[in-house]
Structure 1
Amino acid sequence: MGDTSEIRPEVEVRPGVPPSGPGCADCEAHAPPGWWLHLRRCARCGHVGCCDSSPAQHASAHYRATGHRVVQSYEPDEDWFYDYATGDWLEGPQLAPPASHPAQQGVPGPEGRVPPDWRSRLH
């Protein structure tokens, strides 16, 4: 992952805010519901969105719509932070649990929604 730096004081991170749910909030709200490769959690409001390799790229769309620039991986056994505004990998505080989607939720996921040709749909 390379060098990391501390989250700057001017970037608002709210450690006590829980995640919005176990999957991408926007994919879940779409009709029909979508699917994702990996998940990212907004460190300010808890919004869970899909990564930029996923078809819909909802996590970075959330940043562009809200200005909430720091996300944490929402994958099991990952705790890195990323700043969309600077492109920096960061170290940050422990956020409210849960720290990831359920471990039994596959990647890509969720099970039953992932098309057979999913690899060809990634960015």
Structure 2
Amino acid sequence: MTSVPVDPSVPPSGPGCADCEATGGWWFHLRRCAACGHVGCCDSSPGQHATAHYRASGHPLVHSYEPGEDWFFDYTTEELYESGPALAPPDSHPAAQPAPGPAGRVPADWTARLHH
């Protein structure tokens, strides 16, 4: 893994995409910034907030915030890593939280709204 800023002591910003929560949006899958803990939605999601966070902050390394997934992605090099440093818990959103989520805000036609 390249030398990028990682702070393993910082917990995630919450159980869902911080930006979608603030605007009443929804997400497909979640990504956690390895530098500051910001949780954002993936590029298939309407908001694409994880990538927006990288562009605004310069924090290039994200960790999957999905249950059972341990991979990291480096936006700078576009490299995927099967594992990486242990981060402060929790390592995923709650298992009971649906994907897409959050429950109650996902439109019925959500598959048509995904970015491909």
TM-score (norm 2): 0.96
2:70 is matched with: 79
Structure 2: segments with no counterpart, 5+ residues: none
How is 1:81-120 mapped onto 2 (pairs within 5 angstroms)?
Answer: 81-90=72-81, 91-120=83-112
Which SS does the other structure have where 1:60 is aligned?
Answer: helix
Q: Which runs of structure 1 show a deviation greater than 2 angstroms over 4 or more consecutive aligned residues? A: none
Equivalent in 5, 23, 27 of residue 12 of structure 1: 5
Structure ID, larger Rg: 1
Structure 1: segments with no counterpart, 5+ residues: 1-6
2:49 is matched with: 58
What percent of counterpart residues are identical?
Answer: 71
Cα distance in structure 1, aligned partners of 2:97 and 2:15? 9
Shift in Å, 1:81: 0.2
TM-score (norm 1): 0.91
Cα distance in structure 1, aligned partners of 2:22 and 2:108? 22
2:36 is matched with: 45
Equivalences, count: 114
Equivalent in 10, 17, 21 of residue 28 of structure 1: 21
